[in-house]
Structure 1
Amino acid sequence: MYFDYKGCCNTKVNTCIIFFKGAIKLKEKLTIGEMAKLRGMTTETLRHYDRINLFKPQYIDSHSGYRYYSIFQYEVLGTIKELRQLGMSTDEIKDYFNERNFSKSLDILKAKHADLVSKLNELTDLEENIREKIVYLDHVARETELQTVMFRELGRRKLITLNEKINNNLELCYGVIRLENMLAEKTPILASNRLGILIQEADLRTKRFEEPSVIFVVAKSKEKIPKQYQRIVPAGLFACIRYNGELLWNRSESLSKIFDYLDEGGYQITGDALQIMHVDITITDKPNEITFEIQVPVQKV
C-alpha cells in the first residue's frame, strides 16, 4: 500500500511508514537500515544495541538468517534514544527497562533530573568564571603602564589563606594547589587577579621587601571556607604599582617607588600589602608579559 503524503505509524494494524523517493510504504517487518532511518539513528548504533542485548531485532528469517525489527518496537527504541539524550548510560537504560513499573521509572527520572540540574549549575558557574576572566583579560590588554604609582579605592575583600609563609617557588607551587583544592568552584583562579601573597606591614615599615610571604586567593561570596582560613581586607585607599617579570620576589624596586611617592605626598601605610598575580603563566610563556600588581593600604597623614 502506498500513499503520496506523510503520515504516522498506526499501531492498530500491522503497518509502518517507510519513505521511498517521496512515496510511503507501510509494512511491519523492518530491516536494520529501515529502522535506523525511521528513528534517525545509524545502523552501527543498532548493531551495538543488539550486541549488548539492549535492543534486539524481533525476527530472524529461518531461510536467509536475516534479522528484522518490528514496527511495534518503535516506542522502545524511541525511549532508548530519549534516555541517551538525557545522558543515561546503556547500563542505566538496561536497568530502566528491567521489570519496569510506574514508581521505578518515576524514581529513575527524578534522579536523572537532579543529576542534570547539578551539572547545569556547574556549567553555569563555569560560564560565569570564564566570562569574568575574559572581561578581566580584555581590561588588562588595554592597560600597558608599568612602574607608575597610582591611587585606587578598592572594596572589601575576603581572602582564603593557609596562614603559612612561602619561601620559594617550590613552596609556592604546593601552596597554590592546596588553595585550589579548598575551592568548590570550577577553574577558580586560572587567568584571574585573585591569587597573590600578603606582605606584612612590619616588613614594609622596615623595608624588608623580599621576606617570605603568606599566599592567598580572593574568595567569591558563595565559597564556604572555615574561619581559620579566612582573612578580611577592609575597603579603602590603596597605592598601587605594576611590574613585569617571572619572579614573585623581585618587588623591591616597585615597593621603593611606592614608599618614595608616599613620603613625598604625606601618606602612611595602614596594613599589610597585597601582591596580586595580574597576568601569570596560565596565560603566557613570555616573561615580559607576566605582570604583578602591588596594593598598599594607605591614608593621608
Structure 2
Amino acid sequence: MKERLSISEMAQLRGISAETLRHYDRIGLFNPQFVDPQTGYRYYSIFQYEVLGTIKELRQLGMTTTEIKQYFSERNIRNSAELLAAKHAELVRKLEELTALEENVRDKLTFLQEILSEEDRSAIMFRMIERRRLFTLHQQINSNLELCYGVLGLENRLTETAPILASNRLGVLLSRDSLEAGRFESPSTIFVVAKRATAVQKSNLIVVPAGMFACIRYYGELWNRSDSLAALLGELERQGFEMTGDALQIMQVDITITDNPSEVMFEIQVPVRKRAESQSRFGDA
C-alpha cells in the first residue's frame, strides 16, 4: 500500500477513466495533491479517495461539474441540504416523466399483442369504457393537411412528455347529429385523451362519461369511415340500441408502428344504450 498514486492508478481504483481525471484537473474540480519537482509528474493522495467518490456519486445524480464545484466550494450542512433537495426534486420529476412514458408504452404493447392474437378485427364489439377527459383546441379537420397542423397544435400545448401518436389516445369526435343524418364525412374535432396528471383548462376539456360503447375497427385513412359507420349504425338499429352522444374515432395503429398503409387502423366508439320498450312500441306504431 502506498500513499501517492499516479493518474492511472487513481482512475483504476475508482473505476473511472484517466482522461476523466485529467479533465477534472484542467477545470479545477479535482487536482492531484503532489507534484514531483524533478519530473513534473503529478500524483494523487490515497486520502483523496473520498472526494473523488463524492464527485462520482454526484455525477450519477446528474449534477454538472459546475454544480459539483459549487458544492465543494461552500460545503456546509445547510448548503448541502439545499442543493441535494433541489436535485432530489429534479429526480422525482424525471421519474414521474419516465413512469408516464413506461405506462404509455406498456399500454400500447398490450394493445398490439391483443390485436395480433385476434382473428376477426372488424367485428362489432360492445364494451364498457371508463370516464375519459379529452384535451382539444376545438379545431375542425377535414383533410390530411389539417390533421398535421391539428396534431402539432395538440402536441405543442401538452405538458406531458409521453408520446401521443403511439398511445391509442389521438382521435376525432364525430358529432351525433352528423351521424344520425348520415353525414359520415363531416368535419370532425381533433383531440387527445388527457392523462390524469395533465393540467387542462376547462375551455379545452371535453368529458366523456363512462358507459357502454359499440365499437368497430377498420383499416385505411382517417376519412375512410363511411362503410364502417354504416355497418355499425345498422347493427345498432337491428339490436335496438340508440346513440347517447358524440362518437370517438381513435387511432389504434399508425405510422409510428408500421410502414404498411394497409395495417393503419382506427376504432370508432359510439356511446349507446338500449331503447326502452315503450319507445320501441311507439316507434313501430
Fold-level similarity (TM above 0.5)? yes
Secondary structure (helix, strand or coil) at the match of 2:138 reads strand
Quote the sequence identity (%): 61
Matches within 5 A, 1:111-260: 111-245=86-220, 247-260=221-234
Q: 1:289 aligns with which of 259, 263, 267?
A: 263
* 1:30 counterpart = 2:15: no
How far apart, CA to CA, are the structure 1 residues paired with 2:254 and 2:211?
Answer: 26
**Does the 8 Å CA contact 1:29/1:71 hold for their aligned counterparts?**
yes
Preserved CA contact (<8 Å) 1:157 1:232 = yes
Q: Distance in 1 between matches of 2:16 and 2:241?
A: 72
Deviation string, structure 1 residues 63-101 (Cα, Å, up to 9, x no partner): 222222222322222222222222211111111122433
| 2:92 partner letter | V
Which whole-Å CA distance do the structure 2 matches of 1:78 and 1:53 have between them?
A: 16
Residue identity opposite 1:261 in structure 2: E
Determine if contact 1:136/1:192 at 8 Å carries over to the other structure: no
For 1:300 and 1:106, how far apart are their aligned partners in 2? 62
Deviation at 1:128, TM superposition (A): 2.0
| Equivalent residues of 2:248, 2:269 under 8 A apart | yes
User: Take 1:218 and 1:229, find their aligned partners in 2: how far apart are those partners?
Assistant: 11
Structure 2: runs of 5 or more not aligned: 276-285
Structure 2 counterpart of 1:208, one-letter code: R
In the TM superposition, residue 144 of structure 1 has moved relative to its aligned partner by: 4.1
Please list every run of 5 or more consecutive structure 1 residues that lacks an aligned counterpart in the other structure. Answer: 1-25
Does structure 1 residue 91 correspond to structure 2 residue 66? yes
Distance across 1 between alignment mates of 2:181 and 2:120: 28
Find the aligned partners of 1:41 and 1:150 in 2 and give their Cα distance. Answer: 58
Q: What is the SS of the residue equivalent to 2:137? A: strand
Q: CA shift at 1:39, angstroms?
A: 2.2
Number of corresponding residues: 275
Letter in 2 for 1:286: N
**Aligned mate of 2:52, from 57, 64, 77:** 77
**Could you say which structure has the larger radius of gyration?**
1
Match of 2:14 among 39, 47, 71: 39
The CA distance in 2 between the partners of 1:124 and 1:143, in whole Å, is 29
* Equivalent residue, structure 1, for 2:282: none
More helix by share: 2
- Residue 268, structure 1, aligned to residue 242, structure 2: yes
Amino acid at match of 1:237: M
- Indicate yes or no: 2:252 matched with 1:278: yes
Task: Give SS of 1:151's match.
Answer: strand
Equivalent residue letter for 1:114:
A
